[in-house]
Amino acid sequence: MNKNSKIYIAGHRGLVGTAIMEELINKGYSNLIYKTHEELDLTNQKAVADFFEKEKPEYVILVAAKAGGILANNTYRADFIYENLQIQNNVIHSSYLYKVKKLIFIASTVIYPKNTSIPTKESQMLRGELEFTNMPYSIAKIAGLVMCESYNIQYKTNFIALAPINLYGNNDKFDLEKSHVMPALVRKFHLAKLLNEKKYDEILKDLNINDIQKAITYLKNFGIVENSVEIWGSGNQTREFLHSKDLAQACIHIMENINFSDLYNKNDKEIRNTHINIGVNKNISIKDLALMIKEIVGFKGNLVFDASKPDGFKEKLTDCSKIHSLGWKHKIELEEGIKMMYEWYLNNVYCNSGGGDNKKIIYSYSFYSDVYSKEVA
């Protein structure tokens, strides 16, 4: 891959897509193509095929997906499996038809069984029952991994699948209903802090609601009150977290240096589980994560854990020996990354809840100087 190679980033406006775009630009790649959902519906087979026929990208990074936390996964089960399968099928198949030189498909560690061995190696995929709350999403991602592998075996393509652990970072979704655990906790603690300090004007701006009593009632629905924040589950479940900037750098490292032929033994009679775990080889309990975010945000109240709500996986920790052997390792540690994320949130808040239009709110706080504050459309 050279600096003028035509690279298509599918999902360029999301958490990972914006990080990949920024890293590619920083490294001097200048021939990047991308489309918004309004310009190109990736669930539409003909639209995707027409796009590939016209643009003929040389490299593809497929990060577009319908994703969310436990609540969203468990609520929108049909949407999650249908839309993700459609996106994957269309982009991967068109990449084969139009002779893409290399494709990276980004999945998730939800592909692994709920009672998998810890740390989890790539070989554990399809070795047990999936966790119920995100099973439809998991099955879609497993299908994408197997699809890449199958096209490589049958058609000699060069499609590489990645299984990153829980992601967080700049440009994440902070929707209180649909977001992942990290952005949800950051926003919950921030709003609780404002409520505790009676900064009602800032709460109204953040939620895009014009009545403080409505805002307080709305927050209470998500366990956010003046002196405490409610968190789903026992708090004992553990998770591993990777900053989106680190994943972006891993993707580019793989695009530049790794091929499918590097991912299996040439003497193997069966080629399987060639995907790559991308993680940090460290996990943290949700309780300890919440305490860390509480400290960073500066909320003085209490934590309340609702054990009646699902924990999801009891423990998550990936074995990253494969990607380490291929020459990549993460750089951003968790506390540093959360400070970066909170700084971005304070300066680029998009209000996706509360019944209003998206709106950018500027705050005067500063916790971390080395951040990417560029607004992405």
Total tally of structural domains belonging to the chain = 2
Residues 53 and 123 grouped into a single domain: yes
Q: 196, exposed or middle or buried, with CB in 10 Å at 0-12, 13-18, 19+?
A: middle
Residues 264 and 342 grouped into a single domain: no
Q: CB neighbours (10 Å) of residue 227?
A: 12
Q: CA 221, CA 219: separation in Å to the nearest integer?
A: 5
Q: pLDDT band for position 180 (50/70/90)? A: confident
The residues annotated as belonging to the active site are: 137
Residues 139 and 209 grouped into a single domain: no
Residues 98 and 197 grouped into a single domain: no
Q: For the domain that residue 302 is a member of, what is the CATH number?
A: 3.90.25.10
Residues 153 and 102 grouped into a single domain: yes
pLDDT of the residue at 286: 94
SS (H, E, C) 46-69: HHHHHHHHHHCCCEEEECCCCCCC
Residues 98 and 223 grouped into a single domain: no
Q: Which residue has the higher pLDDT, 350 or 236?
A: 236
Whether the per-residue pLDDT at 75 is higher than 70: the answer is yes
- Is the distance from CB of 300 to CB of 245 less than 8 angstroms? no
Q: For the domain that residue 147 is a member of, what is the CATH number?
A: 3.40.50.720
In a domain, 175, yes or no: no
Range of the domain at 158: 7-169+240-278
Rg (CA), the chain: 21
- Is the distance from CB of 264 to CB of 317 less than 8 angstroms? no
Q: 53, exposed or middle or buried, with CB in 10 Å at 0-12, 13-18, 19+?
A: exposed
Residues 143 and 16 grouped into a single domain: yes
Residues 80 and 198 grouped into a single domain: no
- Can you give the pTM of this predicted structure? 0.86
Per mean pLDDT, which range of 116-120, 179-183, 234-238 is the poorest? 179-183
Beta bridge partners of 303: 229
Please list, in sequence order, all residues whose beta carbon lies within 8 angstroms of the beta carbon of residue 328, skipping any fewer than 6 positions away.
249, 250, 253, 254
